[in-house]
Amino acid sequence: MRILFLSAIALLALSTGAAANDQAEFKLQQSQIDTAQALIDTALQSPLAFDIVESLTTEVGPRLGGSEAEKRARDWAEDLGDQLSFDKVSVEEFSMPYWVRGTMKIALTSPYEQELYGTALGGSGKSRGDLNAEVAYFRSLDDLKAVSDGELKGKIAFVDGDVLVKSQTGAGYALPNNRRRIGWQHAERGEAKALVIRSVGSDLHRFPHTGMMSKRTEGKAWASIPVIAISNPDADQLRRLHELGKPMSIALKSTAAWKGNVNSGNVVLDLIGREKPEEIVLIGGHLDSWDLGTGAIDDGAGVAITAAAAELIAQLPQRPRRTIRVVMFGAEEVGLLGARAYAEKHADALKNHVVATESDFGADTIWQFVSNVNEAANPAIDAIAKLLVPLGIVQGGKDVPGGGPDIIPLAAKGVPTVRLNQNGMDYFDLHHTPDDTLDKIDPEKLKQNVAAYAVFAYLAAELDVEFRTPSKEEE
Amino acid sequence: MRILFLSAIALLALSTGAAANDQAEFKLQQSQIDTAQALIDTALQSPLAFDIVESLTTEVGPRLGGSEAEKRARDWAEDLGDQLSFDKVSVEEFSMPYWVRGTMKIALTSPYEQELYGTALGGSGKSRGDLNAEVAYFRSLDDLKAVSDGELKGKIAFVDGDVLVKSQTGAGYALPNNRRRIGWQHAERGEAKALVIRSVGSDLHRFPHTGMMSKRTEGKAWASIPVIAISNPDADQLRRLHELGKPMSIALKSTAAWKGNVNSGNVVLDLIGREKPEEIVLIGGHLDSWDLGTGAIDDGAGVAITAAAAELIAQLPQRPRRTIRVVMFGAEEVGLLGARAYAEKHADALKNHVVATESDFGADTIWQFVSNVNEAANPAIDAIAKLLVPLGIVQGGKDVPGGGPDIIPLAAKGVPTVRLNQNGMDYFDLHHTPDDTLDKIDPEKLKQNVAAYAVFAYLAAELDVEFRTPSKEEE
Q: What is the pLDDT of residues B185-226, one digit of tens each?
A: 999 999 999 999 999 999 999 999 999 999 998 888 999 999
What pLDDT is recorded for position A470?
A: 78
Identify the CA nearest to B249 among candidates B151, B119, B138, B132: B132
**Peptide bond before residue B409 is cis, with ω within 30 degrees of 0:** no
Q: In terms of CATH, what superfamily is A25-99+261-474? A: Zn peptidases (3.40.630.10)
Q: How many angstroms away from the CA of A206 is the closest CA of chain B?
A: 5
| Contact flag B60-A204 (C-beta cutoff 8 Å) | no
Query: Smallest CA–CA separation between A475 and chain B, in Å?
Result: 45
Give me the residue from A105, A113, A204 closest to B439, CB to CB: A204
C-alpha distances in angstroms, A146 versus A139, A155, A161, B50?
12, 16, 15, 35
Per-residue pLDDT, A358: 98
ipTM tops 0.90: yes
Q: Which of A4, A112, A291, A426 to mutate to test the interface with B (most CBs of B within 10 A)?
A: A112
Calculate helix-pair angle for B378-388, B443-462, nearest 10 degrees: 150
For residue A205, give the nearest of B205, B232, B292 by CB distance: B205
Nearest beta carbon to residue A58 from set B240, B433, B439: B240
- Predicted pLDDT of residue B473: 46
Distance CA B18, CA B189 (A): 64
Name every residue whose Cβ is closer than 8 Å to that of residue A218 and which is 6 or more positions away in sequence.
none
Interface of B with A (CB under 8 A): 2, 54, 57-62, 69, 72, 103, 108, 111-115, 117, 204-207, 232-233, 236-237, 240-241, 244, 246, 292-294, 433-435, 437-440
What are the two backbone dihedrals, phi and then psi, of residue A235, each rounded to the nearest 5 degrees? -65, -35
CA distances (Å), A176 to each of A33, A170, A199, B87, B283, in order?
A: 43, 12, 9, 50, 45
**Which residues, in sequence order, are CB contacts of A364 under 8 Å at separation 6+?**
A422, A423, A424, A425, A426, A427, A442, A445
pLDDT tens string B357-396 = 999 999 999 999 999 999 999 999 999 999 999 999 999 9
With CB atoms and an 8 Å threshold, state whether B112 touches A61. Answer: yes
Fold classification of B102-255 is Glucose Oxidase; domain 1 (3.50.30)
Edge-to-edge, what's the strand order for the sheet holding B114-115? B114-115, B104-110, B249-254, B131-138, B156-159, B194-198, B227-230, B118-120
The pLDDT tens digits of the residues spanning B400-412 come to: 999 999 999 999 9
Q: Which residues pair with B107 in a beta bridge?
A: B115, B251
Residue A114 and residue B294: Cβ atoms within 8 Å? yes
A129: left (phi over 0), alpha (psi -120 to 50) or beta: left
pLDDT reading at B255 higher than 70:
yes
Contacts of residue A456, defined as CB under 8 A and 6 or more positions apart, other chains included, come to A283, A357, A369, A384, A388, A418, A420
User: pLDDT band for position B25 (50/70/90)?
Assistant: confident
Separation in Å, CA of A278 to nearest CA in chain B: 39
- Average pLDDT along chain A, 475 residues, taken 10 residues at a time: 46 43 76 98 98 98 98 98 98 98 97 98 96 98 98 98 97 96 98 98 98 92 97 98 97 98 98 98 98 98 99 98 98 98 98 98 98 97 98 97 97 98 98 98 98 98 93 48
Tell me whether residues A233 and B206 touch, CB distance under 8 A: no
Question: Identity (one letter) of the amino acid at A227?
Answer: V
Torsion of CA A25, A31, A33, A34, to 10 degrees: 160
Mention the CATH class of domain B23-98+261-473.
Answer: alpha beta
Mean pLDDT (whole number) for B81-108: 98
What was the pLDDT predicted at A218?
Answer: 86
CB contact under 8 A, A240 and B117: no
Residue A12: enclosing H or E segment and its boundaries? Answer: none
Q: What is the 3-state secondary structure (H, E, C) of chain B?
A: CCCCCCCCCCCCCCCCCCCCCCHHHCCCCHHHHHHHHHHHHHHCCCCHHHHHHHHHHHHHCCCCCCCHHHHHHHHHHHHHHHHCCCCEEEEEEEEEEEEECCCEEEEEEECCCEECCEEECECCCCCCCCEEEEEEEECCHHHHHCCCCCCCCCCEEEECCCCCCCCCCCCCCCCCHHHHHCHHHHHHHCCCCEEEEECCCCCCCCCCCCCECCCCCCCCCCCCCCEEEECHHHHHHHHHHHHCCCCCEEEEEECCEEEEEEEEEEEEEEECCCCEEEEEEEEEEECCCCCCCCCHHHHHHHHHHHHHHHHHHHCCCCCCCEEEEEEEECCCCCCCHHHHHHHHHCHHHHHHEEEEEECCCCCCCEEEEEEECCHHHHHHHHHHHHHHHHHCCEECCCCCCCCCHHHHHHHCCCCCEEEEEECCCCHHHHCCCCCCCHHHCCHHHHHHHHHHHHHHHHHHHHCCCCCCCHHHHCC
A418, β-bridge pairs: A371
Q: Using an 8 Å Cβ cutoff, are B203 and B430 in contact? A: yes
- Of the pLDDT bands very low, low, confident and very high (cuts 50, 70, 90), residue B24 is low
Asked if the Cβ–Cβ distance from B236 to A438 is below 8 Å, we say yes
> Is the per-residue pLDDT at B7 higher than 50?
no
Q: Do residue A61 and residue B2 have CB atoms under 8 angstroms apart?
A: no
Say yes or no to pLDDT of B418 above 60. yes
Q: Which residues of A touch B206 (CB under 8 A)?
A: 207, 293, 433-435, 437
> What was the pLDDT predicted at B469?
84
Sheet order of strands, B366-372 included: B88-100, B257-271, B322-329, B276-286, B353-358, B417-422, B366-372, B394-395
Cβ-based contacts of A294 with chain B (< 8 Å): 114, 237
- Whether B437 sits inside 8 A of A236 (CB atoms) is yes
Residue of chain A whose Cα is closest to the Cα of B203: A439
Q: Would you kindly state where each structural domain of chain A is located, as residue ranges? A: 25-99+261-474, 102-255
Distance CA A321, CA A281 (A): 10
Distance from CA of B161 to the nearest CA of A (A): 16
* A interface test, pick of B53, B68, B435 with most A CB neighbours within 10 Å: B435
**Cβ separation A233–B69 shorter than 8 A:** no
pTM: 0.93
